[in-house]
């Protein structure tokens, strides 16, 4: 990020979503997603560290905790879950249709903002009553690897519009 795009990681990490360098990161992710629209996910798992991050992401996805004993899997671990009249994608399997991980970044109609995956994960953590993970933390990278590998074959539909 720093070498190729000239975006300061330290500055980005301390900036709120929707401001300063965070806007630049979201804009860059949105542009890349638009250029990648229709391409199929195929995250590699050949390197030992890639496999480790997948396994850590999987553990984090199913880890229950907080005052309500939630996990990512509480909402996204099986078919047929609904919240506020919205069907939630099962992110433990490959839906192949881009409704889950492949649909981000997305324009959030409810608040009129473009959100990247990091902000989506932070909002999920907030809803689970967990502390926010740091921007680009190993936890969010591991979750991204787990979700990305599970999305193998899904076509990118991003940037998408989410209600």
Domain spans in the chain, listed from the N-terminal domain onward = 20-162
Q: Which of 1, 124, 155, 157 is catalytic?
A: 124
With tokens 């953590």, the residue in question is 125
Predicted local distance difference test score (pLDDT) of residue 52: 97
Fold exhibited by the domain 20-162: Cytochrome Bc1 Complex; Chain D, domain 2 (1.10.760)
Neighbours of 157 (CB within 10 A): 17
Predicted local distance difference test score (pLDDT) of residue 140: 94
Residue-by-residue DSSP string for 86-134: EEPP-TTS--SSSSSGGG-SEEETTTTEEE-HHHHHHHHHHHTTPPPPP
| Alpha-carbon dihedral sign for residues 14, 23, 115, 34 | negative
CB-neighbour burial class of residue 3 (10 A; exposed 0-12, middle 13-18, buried 19+): exposed
> How far, CA to CA in Å, does 103 sit from each of 37, 82, 96?
10, 18, 11
**For 81-93, how does the pLDDT look when each residue is reduced to its tens digit (9 = 90+)?**
877 767 888 888 7
Averaged over successive runs of 10 residues, the pLDDT of the chain (163 residues) comes to 85 90 90 91 93 97 90 90 78 72 87 90 91 91 93 84 69
Cis omega (within 30 of 0) for bond into 159: yes
Is residue 72 part of the annotated active site? The answer reads no
pTM comes to 0.88
- State how far the Cα of 163 lies from the Cα of 159, in Å rounded to an integer: 13
Predicted local distance difference test score (pLDDT) of residue 9: 86
Nearest CA to 40 out of 150, 161, 152 is that of 152
């Amino acid at each position: 990020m720093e070498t190729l795009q000239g975006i300061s990681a330290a500055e980005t990490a301390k900036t709120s979503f929707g401001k300063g360098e965070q806007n630049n990161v979201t804009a860059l992710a949105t542009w890349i997603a638009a250029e990648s629209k229709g391409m199929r996910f195929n995250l590699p798992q050949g390197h030992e560290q890639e496999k480790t991050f997948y396994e850590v992401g999987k553990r984090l996805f199913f880890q229950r905790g907080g005052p309500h004993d939630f996990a990512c899997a509480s909402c996204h671990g099986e078919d047929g879950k609904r919240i506020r009249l919205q069907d939630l994608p099962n992110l433990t399997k490959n839906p192949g249709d881009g409704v889950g991980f492949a649909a981000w970044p997305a324009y959030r109609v409810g608040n009129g903002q473009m959100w990247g995956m990091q902000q989506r994960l932070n909002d999920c953590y907030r809803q689970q009553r967990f502390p926010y993970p740091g921007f680009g933390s190993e936890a969010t990278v591991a979750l991204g690897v787990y979700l990305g590998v599970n999305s193998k074959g899904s076509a990118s539909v991003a940037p998408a519009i989410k209600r």
